[in-house]
Structure 1
């Protein structure tokens, strides 16, 4: 899906890591929430509350997921899941555009 219809967008940006990661919250009529964001090159560690689906729209990164034995490379057009109440780290190798879906 390349666009969303009938959504509410929160105007205030979510800004992390000195502005190197930013996103906007998108709310759907059925109560689901996603963020659309952009990450500049660097290494960032995130904590989750709910499980997440991270869809990489464009870019290039490595991710270290909970319980993993090694880094996993993810490129534009690919995705990965993160469990709830967890921590994961990404190494952004090229500017990366993403969509994060919060799963319940």
Structure 2
């Protein structure tokens, strides 16, 4: 069964699924700045748009475009800034 999640007053929405190997979500973020917390290691891939991210323990922001991925460790927080609607695919380990 697919599970629909929404965060930040509906500005971030995702659908949870089980891939052949890992649990995952596919979602969309509206323009804005967000802080997410992890409970598992996450690998996030930008599907459409761009995502500017400040990873834990980093001072600088990095921008990831369509097709690019980044990894976030478990039990940390990270900041995201998107200028327009951005789609992503995220797996959890």
Please tell me the TM-score bracket, short chain as reference: over 0.9
Larger Rg: 1
Root-mean-square deviation (CA, aligned residues, Å) is: 1.2
* Aligned partner of 1:67 among 54, 57, 75: 57
5+ long unaligned stretches in structure 1: 1-8
Rounded Cα–Cα distance in structure 2 between residues aligned with 1:97 and 1:53: 14
Aligned counterparts of 1:28 and 1:76: Cα–Cα separation in 2: 21
Shift of 1:93: 1.2
Identify the match of residue 50 of structure 1 among 40, 58, 69: 40
So what's the TM-score if we normalise by structure 2?
0.93
Counterpart Cα distance in 1 of 2:32 and 2:14: 16
Partner in structure 2 of residue 101 of structure 1? 91
Question: Which contiguous aligned blocks of 4+ residues in structure 1 show a shift greater than 3 angstroms?
Answer: none
Q: Which has the higher contact order (CA 8 A, sep 6+)?
A: 2
Residues 61 and 94, structure 1, Cα contact 8 Å, conserved in 2: no
Count of residues paired in the alignment: 93
